[in-house]
Amino acid sequence: MSRISDTRIRTREAAAQLLASGRLAHKLTVDLIYAEIRQGSRTTINDELKLWKDEQTRNDALSAALPPDVANAMLSVWALAVVHGEQVFGQRSEELEAEAAVATTRADALEAAQAELQATVRAIRAQLDDQRTQLAALLTELAHAQAERDSALRQAEGAVTERDVGRAQSQQALHDARSAHARELEAVRTHHAQHEAALRAEVDQATFRLEGVQKHVMLQAEEAREAQRRAEAEVSETRQRNELLVSEIQQISADAAEHRRLATRHERQLASVTGEVRDLQRDRDALARQVALLQGQIKGREEALPGSRTRRSARKA
């Protein structure tokens, strides 16, 4: 039996017990009934208590109008009818509650199905939005790829022009470096030859003077000691000049070594320029390969894009 029907029955039972204990029917309240049964809502108890009080009023009026035996018999029949009606009411309430539960379950299932359909619709709409976004992105990517292709072609043309200019500049720089190196090397050699000739002339002159002084000393050895001291002083001076000349020769040798070092540095610079020319050639080849690769990628993207071949056929037509 349902909870509501049980509350109504217990309300009637509690009212009958209170009435049997000496309470008056019209003084029974909802609080008294609730204190006895401890269940149900006060609204249900109030409704059922009103029905019970109305029945008691009708019973009292019937008892007063009929003989006691007849009144008791009618009350017994009425009590049985009420009990039977309550049982039928309880069964029907349970059936209605079961039907309501089934309807609620079906409604929940329908709501779940509707929610699932709405989710499916939202997913389909999201997919459509994604496809539209992807289509827009593909169109943007196509335009960007075409722009990149045009830019790459322009860059390739500029790179080829820059390569030709760089090659011409490199060749001119190499020619200028070689010419400058040759001129500097020739100047170093000329300076070295002139310096060496001058040094040899000074050495020869010093040797000649030394020999003359020695002859003069030998011829004038018998002369006065003062002349001998002057000769010795002149010999000492000549030796000092010889030492100075030796120092100058050493300095010239150091200068020659420095010139050789400069010549080696210029040769290294020449080798560096030659290496830069080779690097420029490698960069040119790498740039050509990049241009070819970029053109292949652009061509592949154009062939992979949907409808591109149809649009190209339509433009050709």
Please give the span between the terminal C-alpha atoms of the chain, in angstroms, as a whole number: 85
Higher pLDDT, 76 or 195: 195
Distance CA 256, CA 85 (A): 139
- In this prediction, residue 3 carries a pLDDT of 44
CA distances to 5, 14, 38, 202, 280 from 29, rounded to whole Å, are 19, 11, 14, 152, 110
- Farthest-apart Cα atoms in the chain, separation: 204
Distance CA 90, CA 1 (A): 6
Q: Sorting pLDDT into bands at 50, 70 and 90, what band is 231?
A: low
Distance CA 268, CA 53 (A): 127
Residue pLDDT, tens place only, 97-140: 788 788 789 888 888 888 998 898 899 889 988 888 998 888 88
Coil, helix or strand at residue 129: helix
Structure tokens at 11: 């309300």
Structure tokens at 296: 């292949």
Residue pLDDT, tens place only, 51-90: 999 998 888 887 777 676 765 666 566 666 666 766 776 6
Mean pLDDT, all residues of the chain = 81
pLDDT exceeds 50 at position 2: no
Q: What is the CATH number of domain 147-307?
A: 1.10.287
Domain boundaries, the chain: 3-101, 147-307
Neighbours of 219 (CB within 10 A): 10
Structure tokens at 236: 């000492």
Max avg pLDDT among 107-111, 156-160, 300-304: 107-111
pLDDT, average across residues 261-281:
85
pTM higher than 0.75 for the full model? no
Distance CA 317, CA 312 (A): 9
User: What residue has token string 């300076």?
Assistant: 191
Residue pLDDT, tens place only, 178-191: 888 788 878 868 88
pLDDT, average across residues 143-166:
81
CA distances to 76, 99, 117, 124 from 113, rounded to whole Å, are 54, 20, 6, 16
Higher pLDDT, 85 or 27: 27
pLDDT exceeds 70 at position 307: no
**For residues 167 and 280, is the Cβ–Cβ distance under 8 A?**
yes
**For residues 181 and 267, is the Cβ–Cβ distance under 8 A?**
yes
Q: Sorting pLDDT into bands at 50, 70 and 90, what band is 312?
A: low
**For residues 159 and 294, is the Cβ–Cβ distance under 8 A?**
no
pLDDT exceeds 60 at position 290: yes
**For residues 82 and 55, is the Cβ–Cβ distance under 8 A?**
yes
Host H or E run for residue 275:
helix 225-304
